[in-house]
């Protein structure tokens, strides 16, 4: 849209790439103003779980907006937030007794880091070093960038990012090196280890084993290093279970949730914490309270959407849908995998990913070339470098899945080196 004043995120406007105008969405489909129906193969950047414009969530938002739209949350409360906190307590691990609200995945991570430091201040130990996993991503605010992978996307801000210690990613077969590095780093006396459980999303859809996750958690517990699970992307069934941590049988000290918390309809995040972390901030001394707030903390409309999401999880066979989607994707991935330039096919829960080799190794313009083909096929996919991944809403039907996987096969053919 020429003439628009909008500065888009992660968009190089100078390339003049088309920016479609979307005016409606339903289920797994987006409808553009120029009459196209686009299949949303990445759940609008990993947020939409049950489908767009879900009737139960939309109704909850409309009802709540008429009743109580917004209220200061410092020293005040409201029914949608209380219901949501109780609902989360009922389905999340019992040790996570406290629910702190914020507005995005990034802020849920900032809150987690601040909670961890508050905990150590109360214990009278000067621990502030944060351990991170190589290739991790935790958001785009300064603190969240500090604990994420460094690269071209944060080069300009690197002087402001605080120092962390990075543990090598647990590549299959070399997990022990990761565990040894984590053990060494913990001995140095760290405040916390932050990790995306089982799947590193923005880092390239990198999967590692539940056994490794369980062992990382054990090492942190052994050294009293707080374990922060950033499940902003992996929760709400994405990896096949409500939480990815479940598959490793572990419970973190601090848990970050956002993206699918409202079914992906409106922004909201929570950071859940164990009782000792809450207790470190509890007392009669105002200087010990948790100093974090944003204007829209626990916005009632957002909480109502999250409550509708929780009701869907309680009352509908969501896990069956996820298992079924995983099976249907496995078949299509198997077919895709037979193509000569497709490598490293992998999947976890509702997510599949492949590497595309165009014969010249990694090319920085591969992703936009692939994206152009996907666009011609009316499929919304957004490759990460030469990694193409599929992460659809759980309601997607077989026809739309075929469209997605056919478009990937055709994109692969279009960019393949001429034999």
Judged by the rule CB under 6 A, the positions of this chain that interact with ligand PLP are 104-106, 109, 137-139, 196, 201-202, 230, 232-233, 258
Nearer to ligand PLP, 261 or 342 (CB): 261
Q: Give the nearest distance from C-beta 18 to ligand PLP in angstroms.
A: 23
Nearer to ligand PLP, 216 or 415 (CB): 216
Distant-in-sequence, close-in-space partners of 219: CB < 8 Å, separation ≥ 6: 179, 182, 183, 186, 225
Nearer to ligand PLP, 44 or 416 (CB): 44
Partners of 354 in the β-ladder: 388
Residue whose tokens read 């003049």: 16
> Which residue of this chain has its Cβ atom nearest to ligand PLP in the complex?
105
Nearer to ligand PLP, 102 or 212 (CB): 102
Nearer to ligand PLP, 389 or 405 (CB): 389
Nearer to ligand PLP, 38 or 202 (CB): 202
Q: Give the nearest distance from C-beta 236 to ligand PLP in angstroms.
A: 12
Q: Distance (Å, rounded) from C-alpha 354 to C-alpha 340?
A: 12
Nearer to ligand PLP, 38 or 255 (CB): 255
Helices first, then strands: H and E counts in the chain: 13, 16
| Beta strands at 130-133 and 192-195: parallel, antiparallel or unpaired | parallel
Q: Give the nearest distance from C-beta 359 to ligand PLP in angstroms.
A: 31
Q: Distance (Å, rounded) from C-alpha 176 to C-alpha 183?
A: 10
**413 burial type by CB count under 10 A (0-12 exposed, 13-18 middle, 19+ buried):** exposed
Three-state DSSP at 229 gives strand
Q: Distance (Å, rounded) from C-alpha 181 to C-alpha 30?
A: 45
Q: Distance (Å, rounded) from C-alpha 166 to C-alpha 170?
A: 12
Residue 215 CA, chain-centre distance (Å), reads: 22
Of 69, 53, 47, nearest to 301 (Cα)? 69
Q: Give the nearest distance from C-beta 189 to ligand PLP in angstroms.
A: 26
Contact 281, 118 (CB under 8 A): yes
Q: Distance (Å, rounded) from C-alpha 239 to C-alpha 247?
A: 9
Q: Give the nearest distance from C-beta 214 to ligand PLP in angstroms.
A: 19
Q: Give the nearest distance from C-beta 84 to ligand PLP in angstroms.
A: 17
Q: Give the nearest distance from C-beta 202 to ligand PLP in angstroms.
A: 6
Three-state DSSP at 390 gives strand
């Amino acid at each position: 849209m020429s003439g628009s004043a909008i500065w888009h995120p992660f968009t190089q406007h100078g390339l003049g790439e088309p920016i479609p105008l979307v005016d409606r969405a339903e289920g797994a489909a987006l409808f553009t103003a120029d009459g196209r129906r686009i299949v949303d193969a990445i759940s609008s950047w990993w947020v939409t779980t049950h489908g767009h414009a879900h009737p139960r969530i939309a109704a909850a938002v409309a009802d709540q907006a008429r009743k109580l739209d917004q209220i200061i949350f410092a020293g005040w409360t409201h029914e949608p937030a209380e219901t949501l906190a109780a609902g989360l307590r009922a389905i999340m691990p019992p040790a996570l007794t406290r629910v702190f609200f914020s507005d995005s995945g990034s802020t849920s991570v900032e809150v987690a880091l601040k909670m961890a430091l508050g905990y150590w201040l109360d214990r009278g130990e000067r621990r502030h070093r944060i351990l991170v996993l190589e290739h991790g991503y935790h958001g785009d605010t300064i603190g969240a960038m500090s604990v994420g992978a460094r690269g071209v996307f944060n080069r300009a801000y690197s002087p402001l990012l605080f120092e962390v210690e990075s543990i090598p990613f647990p590549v299959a077969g070399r997990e022990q090196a990761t565990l040894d590095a984590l053990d060494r780093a913990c001995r140095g006396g760290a405040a916390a280890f932050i990790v995306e459980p089982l799947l590193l999303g923005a880092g390239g859809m990198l999967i590692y084993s539940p056994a490794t996750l369980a062992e990382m958690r054990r090492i942190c517990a052994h050294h009293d290093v707080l374990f922060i699970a950033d499940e902003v992307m992996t929760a709400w069934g994405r990896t096949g279970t409500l939480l990815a941590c479940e598959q490793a049988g572990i419970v973190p000290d601090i848990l970050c949730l956002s993206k699918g918390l409202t079914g992906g309809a409106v922004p909201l995040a929570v950071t859940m914490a164990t009782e000792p972390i809450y207790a470190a901030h509890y007392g009669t001394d105002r200087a010990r309270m948790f100093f974090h707030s944003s204007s829209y903390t626990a916005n009632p409309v957002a909480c109502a959407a999250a409550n509708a999401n929780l009701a869907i999880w309680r009352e509908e066979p969501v896990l069956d849908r996820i298992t079924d989607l995983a099976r249907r994707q496995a078949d299509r991935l198997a077919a895709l995998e037979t193509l000569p330039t497709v490598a490293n096919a992998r999947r976890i829960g509702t997510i599949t990913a492949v590497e595309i080799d165009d014969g010249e190794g990694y090319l920085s313009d591969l992703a936009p070339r692939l994206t152009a083909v996907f666009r011609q096929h009316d499929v919304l996919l957004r490759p990460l470098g030469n990694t193409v991944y599929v992460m659809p809403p759980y309601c997607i039907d077989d026809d739309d899945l075929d469209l997605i996987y056919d478009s990937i096969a055709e994109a692969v053919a279009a960019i393949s080196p001429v034999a």
